[in-house]
Structure 1
Amino acid sequence: MSKTHAYSYQRFSTPEQSKGDSLRRQYSLAVDYAARNGLNLQDVSYQDLGVSAYRGANAETGHLAEFIDAVKLGVIPRGSFLLIESLDRLSRAKPRQAVRLLERICEMDITVVTLNDGKRYTIQDIDEDPISFMVAFMVAVRAHEESLTKGRRVRAAWSNKRAKAREMKLTKRCPSWLRLNEDRKSFEIIDDKAQIVRRIYEMTAQGMGQNQVVKVLNRENVTTLNDAAHWHKSTVAKLLRSDAPIGTYVPHLIEHVNGKRIRRPQEPVENYYPAIVSQKLWQEVRLATAKGAAIRGRAAGSGDLQNVLSGLCKCDLCDGPMVYIKKSDKDRYLICQRAKNSAGCQYRAVRYQPVEDVIVAHLNPFAQLERFASDDRLGSELAKVEAEITGIADMLDNLRETKSSTLRTTLAELDIALVDAETRRDQIQRKIEEQEPALMMARIDLLGDALTEQPLDRPKVNRLLRQLLEKVILRQNTGELEFHWKNGGRTEVMFRWPEEE
């Protein structure tokens, strides 16, 4: 008789906790429990590293959501066990929401085990044992109160910092044309970057549009402010919206409304930064941009996403992103972003509709034929990294007792190398988990359903494509789309006849 499957779920809410013992402790408890209770602990573990359970983010977008989806799709068999250190790892949301999440998981015939006390929760326990329900509810109350208290303390600390902002700077973070001095009381201007910002303001005040400004900067190979390969319209728009060039800092308060994270601007702090643009020039730019089209970032604009390949489509010449341009309902194109911004590459506009049509008509049958076996390359990479980790750990063990200052420096370097190797191992393991064959095939079925819906839900199709694909190369001369699947496979589909040479 085969053993019942068990799955480990680990979570910590801040990056600082990753430096401690939290993850190892949680996983060790799961291994020990599975061994003592005859469970088959699966290699696939669900880890939400640095995801807080306070707002339920882990259940909505994290690996806990993937676990729930895998149970719904039949990838994880019903009757399995979910092993967690304690109920507050599952959720720190409002008590009724936390208990509802526990019920939701148990109703899928999953047994939840809290490893700190060995208690089991099933839907029968919750329905028939009032004590089990009360224990779960009281743990949820305590966890939620702890999170509320912590949140109040953090907000109070930041309010105090904002009140003293002119005396002591709040944080090292600052605009890219500044750097914080060692005394933490003032900022230093980085002259070459500040000059670029001034020039952008001057060109805009003279009547140049944002696209023109971008083209000028890229033609002249002006260095970007953030180490990007070339300038983008969104970068220029953000600079022109900012109050920082005139020295004003606008703090924001993070609020959660209906499950969404919203940044609320607070009272501006004038003269927080050294000004690099005059008030007169700044006001001229505001007037100039107010007379024309409103400055918009990438997320602003005409509503729903209209390009099913958003974030996936790549130019075959430079491997840069292809952007969606809509001139009218009939005239919609995909264009290389570098070419559009005069940052190199060849300007060629490809009609969007034939691309979408071939995806809707033909992609799902090809996807069904794709062999979603585990990627052997990832297994080889994982083995190499684990061997590297073992080697570094052995070297550290041999050097721990040394009193030599030179060797202590080597120890510090090895510690850094170990953390880096373990991070790479975790990234590879997450990729392997994402490519689990049954889960991938279930996602393909969902994609097939989405492609037949009328009207086409483009955001939904794009979301499913992102789960299955690494990228899509648009080969303009041959009229082909080259789909790169996350398992390493490739599929080529023709969307138009090749161009004549």
Structure 2
Amino acid sequence: MEKKTVEVLWPEEKEGPVKESNGKLRVAAYCRVSDIYGDDKRSSLENQMDYYSKYILQHEDYKLVGIYYDSGVSGMTIQKRPGFKRLIRHCLERRIDVVITKSISRFSRNSKDLLETVELLKEHNITVIFEKEKIDSMKTRNKFFLTALSAVYQQEALEISENNKLSAENRNKMGRPIFRNQYGYRVVEIDGRRTFEIVDDEARVIKYIYKTFLEGNSTTKIALELTESGIRTPSGNEIWRDSSVKNILRNNNYLGDRLTNEYVSLLMERRYIRNEGQENRYYIKNTHPAIIDEEAFHKVQEILISKQVTNKPPMKSYPLSKRIICAYCGWPYYHSKKRDSHRWKCGLKGNHATLCESNSLAETTLNEMMKQALEERYDFQNPGALKRLKQDLERLNNNDRFELHRMSNLMSLLSAKEELAISEGIERDLLIEKVEEIESEILAFEDLASKIEEDRVYREKALEMIVKSKTLEDVIKSLDASILRAWIMEISVLTKNDFKVRWLDDSYEEIGDYISIKTS
């Protein structure tokens, strides 16, 4: 009897991406970088640019069209990864032929999201290449390996999380909680164990806060006094908020005790919720030196509870949130509602009335200010105004090529650094200035790109409204904050008559006597 043989009959593989007329495939790179900011983020992106530029040079039929990234986010969910969502959108808009990423875990640690995304791109003839695993998503036989490995990486992430929890649980049971630097303390090692050591200058501030609060002063007044005294906040800022004072007043670590597991991590959703019995909590006494005595601490808690607002609604985001800037002090305005009145106030003025001379504005007033600016820019008396309004939105939506600008900036930086490495004397000093200038431009560009991407939802809403409208008059009637934000990225306010607008194309326009008042 002949020996049986089994042959796997793989389905016929799809053809790969179609090359451009110049014979090149448009390749995009995706990476998740660490939770970093400023110079560190720029350095990480610079390294990615250098790596992928060299990678592309090894493939004659590749053309790098952009680097997409997310910073400081988990791979367990897509929702909080704007760079990833932007990459997928550009793929579906036929701007990209091939996506390269270093590994499956960098692309996604959620098995379901990974497989659905890869399959979606495959349907549009777009390849995803996972370098570490040497997997090409267009090759049918790789689907099994991709499915298996994605499940492994997801399980690995869950196991790491569970192991960390178990380790922390065991430490808590032994009365050895994890210590991290915080205001009033720094972490030190004594006899092989980590614990807190009091930072005297900060401890004096903490004691002052408790003392003055027990004397009947409000947290707002205490914050103002600390600000006027020139004392820095726990995060190093010049301006104290009442919330910073409240956080110090509620911190039981100042008793010399540790309360652990106050919050529970939902790994798959990348968020935390208050621990209400889902996991064990541990109250470990006398783990480190106390700054506040028990009697004072408990009196403070009683006062805070008596003043606590029950059923306080969660913070809500509005179209103008973080986009109205006080021209006097530079703080963003915040929204407040009293009965049916919606108003916007300077954040600094709201915390410390004497530190800023700005006035609050009704939301209806802000809408009229933005309408005035829009009318001046687009000249509503001109028959072509409606067409221009629509064209500007479409132009930005169709040409928001941040990735090309990012590559250009990073290539300029790499080139300048190469010159700097071999320069001497005066030339070296000039090149140092050039490098610093390019680095500043990169950080400013990343901030602008982030704002433009965030505002896309408003541009799409405005375009939908314009399509439904028959005349310019219909459009003008529909101009509320959520529509006006499509054209106006930011507004810097002195008064309701004097302000500066930052437009969607990053140009600025001063209204009224903004310049003369600002410079007087």
TM-score (normalised: structure 1): 0.71
Aligned mates of 1:205, 1:321 — CA distance in 2:
32
The equivalences for 1:68-467 within 5 A come to 68-72=88-92, 74=93, 76-77=94-95, 80-93=97-110, 95-116=111-132, 119-122=135-138, 129=140, 131-166=141-176, 170-171=178-179, 173-181=180-188, 183=190, 185-252=194-261, 254-256=264-266, 259-265=269-275, 266-294=281-309, 301-303=312-314, 305=316, 307-330=318-341, 332-338=343-349, 340-342=351-353, 344-356=355-367, 358-359=369-370, 369=392, 385-391=413-419, 393-394=421-422, 428=442, 431=445, 435=449, 445-449=459-463
Alpha-carbon distance, 1:355 to partner: 0.9
Match of 2:500 among 474, 482, 491: 482
Asked if the contact 1:247/1:274 (under 8 Å) is kept, the reply is yes
Asked if the contact 1:34/1:41 (under 8 Å) is kept, the reply is no
After superposition, what is the alpha-carbon deviation per residue over 1:313-347, rounded to whole angstroms, capped at 9, x for unaligned?
Answer: 22112222323333332262423514641462215
| Change beyond 3 A, Cα 1:490–1:286 | same
Aligned mates of 2:142, 2:95 — CA distance in 1:
24
Pair 1:61-2:76 in alignment: no
Counterpart residue identity of residue 267, structure 1: Y
Asked if the contact 1:88/1:140 (under 8 Å) is kept, the reply is yes
Aligned mates of 2:338, 2:135 — CA distance in 1:
61
Counterpart residue identity of residue 337, structure 1: L
Alpha-carbon distance, 1:473 to partner: 0.6
SS in 2 for 1:227: coil
- What is the number of equivalent residue pairs in this alignment? 448
Aligned mates of 2:443, 2:365 — CA distance in 1:
37
Aligned mates of 1:106, 1:150 — CA distance in 2:
31
After superposition, what is the alpha-carbon deviation per residue over 1:348-383, rounded to whole angstroms, capped at 9, x for unaligned?
Answer: 222233214554797598676488688999999757
Alpha-carbon distance, 1:261 to partner: 1.0
Alpha-carbon distance, 1:175 to partner: 2.7
Alpha-carbon distance, 1:102 to partner: 1.5
After superposition, what is the alpha-carbon deviation per residue over 1:477-497, rounded to whole angstroms, capped at 9, x for unaligned?
Answer: x62442335754114568xxx
Other-structure match for 2:492: 473
Aligned mates of 2:71, 2:437 — CA distance in 1:
11
Aligned mates of 2:199, 2:360 — CA distance in 1:
39
Return the structure number with greater relative CO, CA threshold 8 A, min gap 6. Answer: 2
Aligned mates of 2:288, 2:478 — CA distance in 1:
50
Asked if the contact 1:30/1:84 (under 8 Å) is kept, the reply is no
Asked if the contact 1:218/1:342 (under 8 Å) is kept, the reply is no
Alpha-carbon distance, 1:280 to partner: 1.3
Alpha-carbon distance, 1:67 to partner: 0.6
Asked if the contact 1:245/1:275 (under 8 Å) is kept, the reply is yes
Asked if the contact 2:227/2:238 (under 8 Å) is kept, the reply is no
SS in 1 for 2:284: coil
Asked if the contact 1:33/1:115 (under 8 Å) is kept, the reply is no
Alpha-carbon distance, 1:25 to partner: 9.1
Other-structure match for 1:412: none
CA RMSD in angstroms comes to 4.9
After superposition, what is the alpha-carbon deviation per residue over 1:295-322, rounded to whole angstroms, capped at 9, x for unaligned?
Answer: 9xxxx94346264322222211222232
Counterpart residue identity of residue 200, structure 1: I
Asked if the contact 1:10/1:26 (under 8 Å) is kept, the reply is no
TM-score (normalised: structure 2): 0.69
Aligned mates of 2:203, 2:494 — CA distance in 1:
40
Aligned mates of 1:273, 1:28 — CA distance in 2:
51
| Change beyond 3 A, Cα 1:310–1:103 | same
| Change beyond 3 A, Cα 1:12–1:428 | closer
Other-structure match for 2:64: 41
Aligned mates of 1:201, 1:379 — CA distance in 2:
52
Match of 1:4 among 25, 28, 39: 25
Query: Unpaired segments of 5 or more residues in structure 1?
Result: 397-417
Query: Unpaired segments of 5 or more residues in structure 2?
Result: 1-20, 276-280, 379-388, 425-431, 469-476
